[in-house]
Amino acid sequence: MLWERRQETRLVAFLGGRSLITEGGSAVTEWSFQRKLITGVVVVCMLAIMTSTLSMYTSRVLIANMEKVATGQGQDLSDARALQLIGVTNIADVRACLLTGGREYAPAVRVGSSQVRELVERLQARAADPEDRSLLNDVLIAERLHLEAFTTALISSTAPKGSGDVPSPEPVVMAAARFDRALAALVAHSESARQRSLAPARAALDRAENVLMAIIIATVVLLVLLCLFLIGALGRSYRLQTTARSLAEVGQSEAKANLSQAEAAGHLKDEFLATVSHELRNPLAPILTWTQLLRSGTLDQAKSRRALEVIERNVTSQAHLIDDLVDVSRVVSGKFRLDVRPIDLVPVIKAAADSQTPASDAKHIRLQLVLDERAGLISGDSERLQQVMWNLISNAIKFTPKKGRVQVVLQRSESHVEISVSDSGAGIDAEFLPHVFEPFRQGTGGSMRRHGGLGLGLSIVRHIVETHGGEITAHSDGIGLGSKFTVKFPLLATAGGDGEPVRRHPMAGDTFADVHFARLDGIRVLIVEDEPTASEALQVLFSSCGAEAKVAGSVPEALAIFEVWRPDVVLSDVAMPGEDGYSLIRKIRLRSPERGGVVPAVALTAYAKIEDRVTILAAGFQMYLSKPADPNELVAVVGSLAKGRRLDDGVLN
């Protein structure tokens, strides 16, 4: 049901579905806030992971640059300073040796000189800069000159006294000064080179620090924004859940109301089925009783005539019920068809009233017709319009007590033709009046019903009237005050053609008339019917009219009879077990004309849909009759087809 689908949609939205449905059925959002919350949490986690990864990478870069700043080119500078220290120590040892004349400093001078040369060689092997190599060569030359000056001075100091050679410290001092300047130049150059090499590392260190700070600031800002978004989403989600809960409560109320309506509709259908069962069984009881009485042979001629009248009347009543059910089916399926042409309503109303004269006379009800002969023509189906009038007049007579009054008025009202059917009968309750045209509705239901019927007549009447472009209304002042039904049809702008109505319902006046069937002398009829009682009745009917009738209970049996006995007309049921009537007519039509391939065929069917009728005619049948078929009509159809066949044969001969 519709309300169940709406409730299910609301529930899906409440539990985090794709959309939230409002009362009107429109989507509030294409994506639930629960999923937005989950997405927000996932985004926060991803940002945290990305931020951590970037922070780790930036930190590593920062640490590497700091290490580079701290240690970059440090080895060359330390070696240069160590070389300077050794050289200064060597110069100091030389001065101490010369000043004190102590020869104990000489080995230290030589060791220091050896260390200077080794360190210079190591630095030369590592140096890539030509200026570094040049400075190292200067240091090496200055150290050698310094050592030679020291050696010369030391040799001079060991000469015998009075030899006249007094050592002069001036060369040693000059060599020491040169050695010291060379060492100072090397150290200064190493410090300058170190500063130049550390400049890119310091710049990279500053950039890494700036990037790290930017990442931290951006992360904090994004986290704050996401937190604000999540707080807003949580608030909105709470509001939407509250709305969804309210909608669910409203839907629950609607569900209860719809459930009550469904239960009422189910109860109404149960009552309708019970009514259908009652109305279909009711005519069967007198039919069965009178049939058994006729078979007993105890009835005189008057009683036998009365029995036949009762049986025919009850069969007609059942036919009316079935017609109403078929009409309702056509209305529901949208296959209700009209044969529209210009219609004069006067003969239509008179025909319907004439058919109800026996019923009104039996109750001593005065049936008065006030008809304006110049009311005008309308466009419609005379058969369906007669059905409308028959239903309204029969209802008025049914619900009017004895010695009451029923009046039918036809008049012109501006651009409409107005028909009113009023009575002095039981009236309509004010509570039931709005539902009087609804199907399956009756004023009193169940075992307390005082009148028969299925409760479909007025519903069918309203549909027929509205299909003709008209309208129908009901009015009653209350219980026991009678009722009035008013029908309005638009006038036909231009009229033409014959408006004589065609009767649809069997007339009550004909029900009790003497039945005289046409003669079918010399006509051969093949009856194909799987129901033995039905085939027997048809065989008796045609035999009583002078025809030669044979019965086949199946299609193979019919074809076997066809080979040895050529009928003038084939009368076949459509629905049969095994092979049906369609199969039979197809096989007959495949035969040559000499073998009976063009024999006229009539279909008997309980199917009354338009599609069934079209299928029957397209299969090869010349005529179709709906069950229960009127015997007079059946005899007339068979006689007409047989005569037409004989005329065709005469022309061919």
Task: Give the range among 41-45, 84-88, 594-598 with minimum mean pLDDT.
Answer: 41-45
Same domain, 50 and 94: no
Residue type, 399: F
Q: What's the pLDDT at 556?
A: 92
Residue type, 625: L
Contacts of 353 (CB under 8 A, 6+ apart): 367, 369, 389, 393, 408
Preceding omega of 628 cis (within 30 degrees of 0): yes
Mean pLDDT of 529-542: 85
Q: What's the pLDDT at 219?
A: 77
Backbone φ/ψ region at 620: left (φ over 0), alpha (ψ -120 to 50), beta: left
The Cβ-side half-sphere exposure at 201, using a 13 Å CA radius, reads 16
Burial of 105 (0-12, 13-18, 19+ CB in 10 A): buried
Q: What's the pLDDT at 306?
A: 81
Residue 265 has pLDDT above 70, yes or no: yes
Number of domains in the chain: 5
Same domain, 137 and 46: no
Of 252, 64, 319, 88, whose CA–CA distance to 186 is shortest? 88
Residue type, 492: L
Same domain, 384 and 294: no
Mean pLDDT of 248-273: 80
515 in a structural domain:
no
Helix (H, G, I), strand (E, B) or coil at 129: coil
Confidence of residue 517 (pLDDT cuts 50, 70, 90): confident
Residue 550 has pLDDT above 90, yes or no: yes
Residue 576 has pLDDT above 80, yes or no: yes
Of 50, 524, 530, 613, whose CA–CA distance to 330 is shortest? 613
Q: What's the pLDDT at 421?
A: 93
Q: What's the pLDDT at 68?
A: 58
215 in a structural domain:
yes
Q: What is the pTM of this model?
A: 0.40
Residue 268 has pLDDT above 80, yes or no: no
Taking the C-alpha atoms of residue 579 and residue 623, their distance in angstroms, rounded to an integer, is 20
Taking the C-alpha atoms of residue 298 and residue 275, their distance in angstroms, rounded to an integer, is 34
Dihedral (CA of 199, 200, 201, 207) sign: positive
Of 534, 605, 524, whose CA–CA distance to 569 is shortest? 524
Q: What's the pLDDT at 213?
A: 79
278 in a structural domain:
no
Mean pLDDT of 529-549: 87
Q: What's the pLDDT at 534?
A: 80
Mean pLDDT of 557-585: 90
81 in a structural domain:
yes
Q: What's the pLDDT at 552?
A: 93
Q: What's the pLDDT at 296?
A: 72
Task: Give the range among 59-68, 239-248, 422-431 with minimum mean pLDDT.
Answer: 59-68
Same domain, 144 and 194: yes
Residue 406 has pLDDT above 70, yes or no: yes
Same domain, 372 and 489: yes
Taking the C-alpha atoms of residue 105 and residue 116, their distance in angstroms, rounded to an integer, is 16
CATH code of the domain containing 574: 3.40.50.2300
Same domain, 543 and 578: yes
Same domain, 612 and 546: yes
CATH code of the domain containing 452: 3.30.565.10
pLDDT in tens, 504-514: 333 334 444 45
Mean pLDDT of 212-232: 79
434 in a structural domain:
yes
Q: What's the pLDDT at 72?
A: 47
pLDDT in tens, 63-72: 766 665 555 4
Residue 96, CA distances (Å) to 85, 101, 172 in order: 16, 8, 12
Cβ contact 272:454 at 8 Å: yes
Task: Give the range among 310-314, 364-368, 592-596 with minimum mean pLDDT.
Answer: 310-314
Helices 105-126/130-157 angle, 10° precision = 170
491 in a structural domain:
yes
CATH code of the domain containing 174: 1.20.120.1730
pLDDT in tens, 336-393: 667 788 988 899 998 888 888 888 888 888 888 988 888 888 888 888 888 888 889 9
272 in a structural domain:
no
Same domain, 316 and 463: no
Confidence of residue 569 (pLDDT cuts 50, 70, 90): very high
- How do the residues of the chain divide into helix, strand and coil, expressed in percent and rounded to 5? 65, 10, 25
Same domain, 391 and 467: yes
At residue 169, what are phi and psi to the nearest 5 degrees? -80, -5
Same domain, 368 and 487: yes
**Residues making up the chain, counted from first to last:** 653
Q: Which of 468, 503, 538 is the last residue of a domain?
A: 503
Determine how many CB atoms are found less than 10 A away from the CB of residue 274. 13
Structure tokens at 462: 């309203």
| Average of per-residue pLDDT values in the chain | 76
Q: What's the pLDDT at 409?
A: 92
User: What is the DSSP pairing of strand 483-490 with strand 416-423?
Assistant: antiparallel
Task: Give the range among 7-16, 138-147, 385-394 with minimum mean pLDDT.
Answer: 7-16
User: What is the DSSP pairing of strand 601-605 with strand 377-380?
Assistant: unpaired
Q: What's the pLDDT at 274?
A: 60
Same domain, 41 and 77: no
Same domain, 487 and 531: no
Highest mean pLDDT among 26-35, 127-136, 158-167, 330-339: 127-136
For the CA atoms of 597, 603, 607, 609, the dihedral, rounded to the nearest 10 degrees, stands at: 70
Domain range spanning residue 252? 2-70+210-264
At residue 573, what are phi and psi to the nearest 5 degrees? -75, 150
- Residue 455 per-residue DSSP state: S
252 in a structural domain:
yes
Q: What percent of the chain has pLDDT over 90?
A: 10
Q: What's the pLDDT at 111?
A: 84
Mean pLDDT of 10-15: 43
